[in-house]
Chains A and B, each alone.
Chain A
């Protein structure tokens, strides 16, 4: 080889070496950007949204920055694509030349995300707003607040108050998780929801009279009532008739899958004394592993499939929604698809569901069989598919045996007996008839027993958190049952007897004594001295002598 040839080769190799160093530099920059959360993004602002971005960049820059961090911004999905409205929509208004609506509903998201929306609309999440006529809501509306506004009883210095909104606790407490009926203000002072608008299958209102009454701001924007907006509760009842809110989990305006995959996201609502799923998860080994290994969980992966993209720990989403290797990576937006017990009611029920996704309560086997469209065994099989990514089959079966035994023991020892005693008290009219709840002490006791302590115990068992299952759970259930519930029920019977309602008192006592005579309750009173029966009031000295 000539020296000239060698020189040319060296020049080419030098160039290749420099290119390789540039490649290394590019990798390093990309790594740093990824670490800093500012990866190279090619934001594409669609022409239809250019004005929105320009204006809102000045007025509310956070919204635009969040959107720029979203996949939407990279794929050219702008403001108008989601907020667009059609002529005739109840909440549509012209905003600088674009017909838009403020509230983006699942029907809007479903224009692109059809499967996800359909799954979500079929879920219990989407129907979470139905709580707004339940026992829980009676507490917030009536017991804690007031269903009607009332006058202030003394001045609030520095803040003039003419009327007290008694529903404030509902608006801020219940609705922000459960959702509410989105309401527009009407010109006559009433509220217009989908109840009045009667939207058709296309989401357009069919009640023209209600449509005409909608009160609008000077710029033509229909006025959303403050009792219903802002609201990202998951069971929101929207003006177009659609149920739910996608932003409850995915957040506005960055629609982060990464965030939705993390337990903190669910913890906005699934926490606290009555359903501490977030705290239970944190106590479990799953939660412990997640905290330790979060950095290795590939949370930004496109599909985030358990067993493919990560295996370090499961989050709420991993078990209840995300895809896994065993199910071919199939994601569901209906978290109920993999749940085999519902631990929400006083007595847990298996998740046999009907065509509407409601739990079947029918007890007649033939009728029950006709109603069931999806069995609890099918749901459990789907959850086991998740478990089997990290556990052996006998391990998973063992866990479910422990869980089933726990729930059934709770049902049989405390929940069904509690229900029977409460029923006896109502049947004998020793309590104020329904719907007046919470005006008797025992109603509070029973509510705390099943709604707080009973749920904590069952949820603790369902997600492998021993302390919640026992000390925060069944221990407190037992204490409430034996030390408060039974004594209060007996006290009510005693008072009835004193008031001359001997038959009613006897009926309630029969139920209580029947329960406490069962083997699992005998420990409670069997060692106590039996009360000495009172002598009959009409007995004669001779009879007493005969008896003695």
Chain B
């Protein structure tokens, strides 16, 4: 055994002590509270998506003639196909929900403030990449709703000033949804966006390691008590518990509410009701409330403001003198987000 370790150390000159030091970063005590442990959840679900996605890709054929049939084969015939597809669908739903919840936690605890502004922007990029991955994945099914959802999304992007037409052509591979569109979605969904997410996650974690986790000291904690605890094994075990619970929840959702299939896409028949996936309900309702150009420009403005929020927050605090001004704005924004989503979900048109 000793000889094997020595052989390994010669080729990988990292000592166990160095490794322990590298991984055993001191973790602030507030992370012992469970709701602060949700940052790892999206990453965990992302791994599930990678694994199930690779297995689904073994069968999926991205062309209008074969896409729907290949998913029908996965769902109805391939061994465990229904389970993997359902896991993929539910993990996507939970991942988007987890990213949004994580970002809300960061926002309401003002963890984006100096010197962590750049990490907030990386987080925003991750949110955008996750939403885009969800959108492109839904479009791959090539059922009526996903087809028409993609068509509507492309038409919306067309309304963006200056770059809209170019973005639509890049997305669809032409002016209309055509034989090349699905392969574009597939490449984006299975290669470009996951790679982007991996790179952004690396940057995100590197930033966390460089700056450390934002501390929220408990005023009631005795001053002589240590302010930190070890990442390994204590925090690691907490993350493992969350991961296992997530897997059980995913299995339950996949078996009780398995992924289904709507009718196959028919470019000649527009469905009476077109709905995107739930995470775009808010934007969809926003679009219905205003004219297309105003809704698109205002959406762009809101997203842009979210990107540079750390500086906007600083500016608002400076002119109003209210330390928690962002919290009040956040509460209004959250109600708006939930209200518009529920509204869109509740009505058929």
Q: Which positions in A face B, CB cutoff 8 Å?
A: 1, 3, 6-7, 9-10, 13-14, 16-17, 20-21, 23-24, 27-28, 31-32
Contacts and interface: CB of A to CB of B under 8 A. Distances in A.
A17 to B, nearest CB: 5
A13 B83 contact: no
Given A3-B234, A17-B248, A24-B251, A10 B79 contact: no
B47 interface: no
A321 B83 CA distance: 38
B238 A32 contact: no
Contacts of A7: 237
B306 to A, nearest CB: 35
A13 B240 CA distance: 10
A27 B245 contact: no
Contacts of A32: 79
Contacts of A21: 251
Given A3-B233, A17-B247, A28 B255 contact: no
Contacts of B255: 20, 23-24, 27
Q: How large is the interface on B (under 10, 10 to 19, 20 to 34, 35 or more residues)?
A: 10 to 19
Interface string B71-113: 0000000011011000000000000000000000000000000
Contacts of A3: 233-234, 237
B241 interface: yes
A20 to B, nearest CB: 4
Chain A at the B interface: SS class: helix
A24 B82 CA distance: 10
B346 interface: no
B238 A6 contact: yes
B242 to A, nearest CB: 10
A521 B274 CA distance: 58
B252 A13 contact: no
A28 B254 CA distance: 12
A28 B80 contact: yes
A275 B201 CA distance: 73
A10 B251 contact: no
Contact of A13 (B234, B238, B244): B244
A461 B82 CA distance: 44
Contact of A28 (B83, B248, B252): B83
A28 B255 CA distance: 10
A20 B234 contact: no
A10 B248 contact: no
Given A21-B251, A24-B255, A13 B80 contact: no
Contacts of A14: 244
Given A10-B240, A24-B83, A27-B255, 19 more contacts: A1-B32, A3-B233, A3-B234, A3-B237, A6-B234, A6-B237, A6-B241, A10-B237, A10-B241, A13-B244, A14-B244, A17-B244, A17-B251, A20-B252, A23-B255, A24-B80, A27-B83, A28-B79, A28-B80
Pick the 6 closest A-B CB pairs, nearest first. A13-B244, A20-B251, A6-B237, A17-B247, A24-B83, A16-B248
B243 to A, nearest CB: 9
Nearest to B83: A24
17 contacts: A1-B32, A3-B234, A3-B237, A9-B241, A10-B237, A13-B244, A13-B245, A16-B248, A17-B244, A17-B248, A20-B248, A20-B251, A20-B252, A20-B255, A23-B255, A24-B83, A24-B254
A17 B48 CA distance: 14
A27 to B, nearest CB: 6
Contacts of B82: 31
Contacts of B248: 13, 16-17, 20
Contacts of B83: 24, 27-28
A204 B240 CA distance: 77
Interface string B190-220: 0000000000000000000000000000000
A59 to B, nearest CB: 38
A16 B252 CA distance: 11
A27 B79 CA distance: 11
Interface in B258-279: none
B213 to A, nearest CB: 19
A17 B248 CA distance: 5
Contacts of B244: 10, 13-14, 16-17
Interface in B14-39: 32
A23 B233 CA distance: 31
Contacts of B233: 3
Contacts of B241: 6, 9-10, 13
Contacts of B251: 17, 20-21, 23-24
Nearest to A23: B255
Nearest to B234: A3
Interface string B51-81: 0000000000000000000000000000110
A23 B252 CA distance: 10
Nearest to B235: A6
B201 to A, nearest CB: 24
Contacts of B79: 28, 32
B66 to A, nearest CB: 20
B36 to A, nearest CB: 14
A17 B243 CA distance: 11
A67 to B, nearest CB: 30
A262 to B, nearest CB: 21
A230 to B, nearest CB: 40
Contacts of A13: 241, 244-245, 248
B166 to A, nearest CB: 43
A16 B244 CA distance: 9
Contacts of A23: 251, 255
B44 to A, nearest CB: 13
B189 to A, nearest CB: 25
